[in-house]
Chain A
Amino acid sequence: MTGDDLIFEVEGVTLRFGGVTSLNNVSIVHHRGEILSVIGPNGAGKTSLFNCLSGVYQPQEGTITFSPAAGKSMSVIGRPPHRVSQAGVARTFQTSRMFGALTTFENVKIGVEARQKTGPIGAMLRLPRTRHEEKFSDERSHELLEFVNLTHRTNTLADSLPYGDRRRLEIARALGTNPKILLLDEPAAGTNPSEKLALAELIARINREMDISILLIEHDMKLVMSLAQRLVVLNFGGVIAEGTPKEIQENPKVIEAYLGASEEVG
């Protein structure tokens, strides 16, 4: 982990929907190679932040700078989601968004292929480059399925996968785009304890073996505390605390935010 090498730098981002302010002057830094977790009660603006980072929402104020490699940087704001993704930001969704009618393998392959150059002419005529890329994407997809331990589901249709497998498939699909940073939106929601354990291990492995920075939204405190190196706490669209897991656990503001809304916490 390098000190000042930031992969994401969010400064003073404000996002409004009509009269509702979803994010209010949010500033976050994400160091390269780090697992950073964003927590907060429901409605705190976590997913809105994700949507800003991945280009789905355009915040009215502030800057979001993404640097795919040290020394290179680009602004996320003003770019459509596919450009942001191409730059190296991959994400998963809170409610899983699989391509249900396609097989597990095809799902991952779409992620891998999105980086390839094959056009319609190449695809129709099966030009050498297309064949080459196709071979690569087949191999890569199999690798990724093996990585997330879904090899036995290769030809299963995505909508008939159990919930835990869908989560992992979504991660594999995102990894297929060869990202620099992976945004995970509640990956453990709806999974059972043993799946959660496997998931935590998987996330740690992605971070360690693939050298991908991870930004994690999660409600499961045990998972977050064991995984994250640093935490950011959001409440009512603003950052209320930031620090190591230990610091956050002892932060009176955080405790208040959570206790005040204890019933809402998942």
Chain B
Amino acid sequence: MSDQPSKMKWFRSLDGEDFRRMATALCGGLLLAVMTGPEGSITQPTYAVRESLFTAHVYGYIVFGLVIGLLLTYRAKVKNGSWRQIRSAPRRTLVDHAASIAASTRLVALGVTALLSLFAGLLFADFSGPVAANKFSWHAFAHQFVFTRTYGYLALAIALWFTAANQITLLTRVRIRSLSRITIVVGVLIAILFFSLAADPFLPPRFTVRSLNPASQSSVFHHWTTYLWLGVGLLAIYSYLRKRDRVANAKSPRRLERMAISPSMRMVGYLGAGFIAIEAPKFLSLYWQISLYQQIGVYCLLAVGLNIVVGFAGLLDLGYVAFYALGAYVTAYFSGALPLQPPFHLNPFLVIPFAIVIAMLSGVLLGLPTLRLRGDYLAIVTLGFGEIIYVLANDWVQVTGGSPGTGSVNGFDVNLLGVHYGWSAANPLSYYYLMIAVLIPVIVLFDLLNNSKVGRSWAAIREDEVAAQSLGINALKYKVMAFAMGASTAGVAGVFTAVKVGVLFPNTFVLQLSITILVLVIFGGMGSILGVLVGAVFLQWLPAYLTFHSYFGYQQSDLYLYIGALLVVMMIFRPQGLVPSRRRQREFADAESGQGSADALGPITQEMPQ
């Protein structure tokens, strides 16, 4: 390290990687922008990109993307060492370095970030009102400042700018001597302004936002409980994840043991969760009681099943929905709802074993020839399989009924030893409890499986297939096993869906659904059952919530855009998922430092070194 820092201009040290990162962040912003663009309807479709360009949010999100990109670039630069000298240098050198950057560059950088941040903040502050009508009015613009929410977003802007200025140019570190005092002042300011955002719903309507869109009158921001629950939830998640990360990163076993949660605490946690799972739904509205089963429960089951394939065994399966469809159509078949009549009708409860066996067999049949492939090839083949099942459901009309859908599927009922009970749509909670009764054993069994010989063999194959085989582990057998188990879980989920929705349509079982389930798994944390449950609950709850409040005029068709943007952000900041498993987190850390063969999804079978 030279004593005299060279007259390095920070933008000179940018390289292709930085531009790629910048482009990714910008694309993320653009994606968000298009998502929040004008709403369309069937009679008046939206040409999303073009028409979005006329709305204010677009620019907000693009700027958002820009600032994020700049921050990431800075972080990468410091991490890979090219700017490390600057950071670790003594204060004097820092001053020298700052002096070595031309004053004009400093001013321009600061000014640009300030403007960008302000712009972003203002645009987020629902300024779409005066701009969206395509005729800008100063009166409307000024009027926005009456709204408390505006100040909240201005705080966001200040926070964004302060971080950016601090991180990118390093100027504040040097020029502003009493940095700590300034940080406190800015922090308090941000806190006050953000509080105004939270306080918005309590103030008289004159001071709160009334969006031009009548649909978003009941915006989620207008209910104080939203903030309460959001705060509590975020705090809980944050503290939990922090602990988890610390445990995962602890190298010495002593520290690991010290941080481990005691079994009694764990038990208390399970009991508490169980109590909430049983009692809380009773206080929910009918909409949420239905959603709990159909939107969340079924998807939890699907995600837990896919987690075996993707998370435990490290195989990328893009045709997962095929097994789900099989389960559903088998149920319809035994209800006599298909044109092809069954030899005997069955209660859906009795269909479950059939669904498991059929899905499992098709999983084995698909797996045996294809699981010799790896990574991308496997993904393509499974994707093809998913499409085949969809085409069969859609076009083989004599058997499946085709696109008009099936007849009605029987509901669950019990007629056994004098007990007669039928599950009916009028009581959605009964379905929910049934789902819980299935989900909990499945989770427990899969957890036991993961912590057994089978789970360890999967981990071994995922980490290093060649080494695993050298120990006598039959990699193909274990992969097929994972495939079959995932498939059978999806089959069961199919039965539950068919029974609840009553009529099946082929276009429910499209590729997008496979990808959605995969996203639940990736978002939550591959390989961690708790993680995928969190992912499934959160990502399935969110659209239901947005639909319920029709916030920002949310429509079902927007879902994939939101999910896409979420994934982009996720992959940048927490690629291992929300609640990753310890092993997986370790593998990610190894892969990042260039060790091991674990990449995001599965093993790369390396050629043997000569």
| Residues of A in contact with B (beta carbons under 8 Å apart) | 22, 43, 47-48, 51, 54, 56-57, 80-83, 85-86, 90-91, 93-95, 97-102, 106, 109-111, 113-116, 118-120, 123-126, 130, 133-134, 137, 154-157, 159-160, 173-174, 176-177
Contact = CB atoms under 8 A, between A and B. Distances in A.
A101 B461 CA distance: 12
B595 interface: yes
20 contacts: A51-B608, A54-B470, A56-B469, A80-B474, A81-B469, A82-B470, A83-B472, A94-B609, A97-B467, A102-B459, A110-B471, A115-B472, A123-B448, A124-B449, A125-B445, A155-B257, A157-B251, A157-B586, A173-B471, A176-B471
Contacts of B583: 101-102
Contact of A118 (B454, B472, B475, B596): B454
A179 to B, nearest CB: 9
Contacts of A120: 449, 454, 481, 485
A47 B609 contact: yes
A96 B459 CA distance: 17
Contacts of A95: 609
Q: Which of A83, A123, A156, A160 has the most CB of B within 10 A?
A: A123
Interface residues of B, number: 43
A47 B473 contact: no
B586 A101 contact: yes
Contacts of B584: 101
B608 A82 contact: no
A155 B247 CA distance: 13
Contact of B453 (A98, A133, A176): A133
Interface in B566-610: 582-584, 586-587, 590, 595-596, 598, 608-610
B256 A47 contact: no
Nearest to A103: B253
Nearest to B598: A101
Interface string B388-423: 000000000000000000000000000000000000
Going nearest first, the 6 A-B pairs with the smallest beta carbon separation are A123-B452, A101-B586, A155-B253, A85-B472, A97-B467, A81-B469
Interface in B171-194: none
A132 B345 CA distance: 43
Contact of A113 (B253, B457, B467): B457
A159 B249 CA distance: 12
Interface of B: 251-253, 256-257, 445-446, 448-449, 452-457, 459-460, 463-464, 466-475, 481, 485, 582-584, 586-587, 590, 595-596, 598, 608-610
Nearest to B585: A101
A177 B469 CA distance: 11
A155 B453 contact: no
Contact of A174 (B455, B463, B471, B474): B471
Nearest to A178: B472
A95 to B, nearest CB: 6
Contacts of B467: 93, 97-99
Q: Which of B252, B455, B485, B596 has the most CB of A within 10 A?
A: B596
B471 A102 contact: no
A119 B452 CA distance: 10
A143 B9 CA distance: 60
A43 B473 CA distance: 29
Given A43-B610, A101-B459, 4 more contacts: A93-B470, A110-B456, A115-B472, A124-B448
A82 B473 contact: yes
A51 B608 CA distance: 8
A99 B458 CA distance: 11
B587 A114 contact: no
Contacts of A100: 463, 586-587, 590, 595-596
B460 A99 contact: yes
Contacts of B466: 56, 81, 93, 97
Nearest to B451: A123
Given A47-B610, A124-B448, A130-B452, A114 B472 contact: yes
A116 B470 contact: no
B596 A159 contact: yes
Contacts of A98: 464, 467
A82 B475 contact: yes
A106 B608 CA distance: 24
Given A43-B610, A155-B256, A102 B456 contact: yes
Nearest to B446: A124
Contact of A86 (B472, B582, B587, B595): B472
Nearest to B588: A101
A123 B350 CA distance: 25
Contacts of B608: 47, 51, 56-57
Nearest to A137: B453
A146 B66 CA distance: 56
B259 to A, nearest CB: 13
Given A85-B469, A85-B471, A110 B452 contact: no
